[in-house]
Amino acid sequence: MTTKESADLFSLSGKVVLVTGGAGLLGQVFCQAFADSGADVAVIDIDDQATKSLAANIATKSGRKVCGVGCDITSPESVSKMVKTVVSELGRIDVLINNAASKGSSLDEFFKPFEDYSLQTWREVMSVNIDGLFLVAQAVGKQMKLQGGGSIIQTSSIYGVVAPDQRIYEGSEYNGRPINTPAVYSASKAAVLGLTSYLSTYWANSGIRVNSLTPGGISSGQNKIFDEKYSNRVPLRRMGQASELVGALIYLASDASSYVTGQNIIVDGGLSAW
């Protein structure tokens, strides 16, 4: 294989990538990276105006076709309409980044201790973090079967793999408020891994590869106390940056990973090795 042929393995030229949670912290970075790598991109988020604004910005920077579509991924009807819109505007869907997640409608309720956690908040978070992923995978998977294949990448979390160290949260804040990692987050992200494994074998004969991307802690507004305590738990001694997830994403989306399915790629600075 020549150097050029090797480089072409990672090319996304001519591919259409759909990113849910596309207007969020990670989603914005992912959408820009895919466009920069030659793909046309569908930015999907619940805020229709935010998706269209971001799509226009990325299209201007990259010169690629980028569309923004508002979608409530907890609604089967909204998801079905979204997929039809993307196919109508961009022609097909080659890659799905099943990335949307939620903390629910109340941060006070989301961060409550396990003993006081309400079933309403639990179900509200699960409706996005796993029910929504199911609905999007189902609808996009149908489209990919019609096309003869594709790649699905589902975003999990390091806390879907290992338990959070509760000691790091004393004095820790995010955007000025005390934080923790609630059980619903860990349970929902562990469920993502189970869904990935199942779909990877279920759709293998249809040419659809399904893998998970599991980020470790990403620096995004945590206070210095949290940063130091978390970094002390990581072999590389620091938190990650959203941009450091892009390499793994490009690999899983491209032909470079053509024989990879049912896997969970962990990008955590070595945290899970301890």
Domain count for the chain? 1
Q: Confirm whether 88 is domain-assigned.
A: yes
Task: For residues 3-19, give the mean pLDDT.
Answer: 88
Q: Confirm whether 124 is domain-assigned.
A: yes
Asked about 189 being catalytic, the answer comes back as: yes
Amino acid identity, residue 61?
Answer: K
Q: Confirm whether 191 is domain-assigned.
A: yes
Cα 127 to Cα 33, 119, 142, 263, distances in angstroms: 28, 12, 21, 24
Question: Is the pLDDT confidence value at 125 over 60?
Answer: yes
Q: Active site residue: 102, 156, 157, 200, which one?
A: 157
pLDDT band at 4 (very low <50, low <70, confident <90, very high): low
Q: Confirm whether 53 is domain-assigned.
A: yes
Q: Which residues of 162-187 are buried (b: 16+ CB within 10 A; e: fewer)?
A: eebeeebbeebeeeeeebbbbebbbb
pLDDT band at 3 (very low <50, low <70, confident <90, very high): low
- Domain of residue 86, CATH code: 3.40.50.720
Beta carbons of 98 and 42 less than 8 angstroms apart: no
Asked about 52 being catalytic, the answer comes back as: no
Local structure of 259: helix, strand or coil: coil
Q: Confirm whether 271 is domain-assigned.
A: no
Task: For residues 134-144, give the mean pLDDT.
Answer: 98
Q: Confirm whether 62 is domain-assigned.
A: yes
Q: Active site residue: 159, 185, 230, 251, which one?
A: 185
What pLDDT, in 10s, does the model give residues 187-219?
A: 999 999 999 999 999 999 999 999 999 999 999
Global pTM exceeds 0.85: yes
Question: Is the pLDDT confidence value at 221 over 90?
Answer: no
Domain of residue 237: give its range: 3-265
Beta carbons of 15 and 95 less than 8 angstroms apart: yes
- Check residue 198 and give its pLDDT: 98
Q: Confirm whether 272 is domain-assigned.
A: no
Asked about 65 being catalytic, the answer comes back as: no
Q: Confirm whether 258 is domain-assigned.
A: yes
Local structure of 115: helix, strand or coil: helix
Q: Active site residue: 189, 212, 251, 254, which one?
A: 189
Beta carbons of 110 and 182 less than 8 angstroms apart: yes
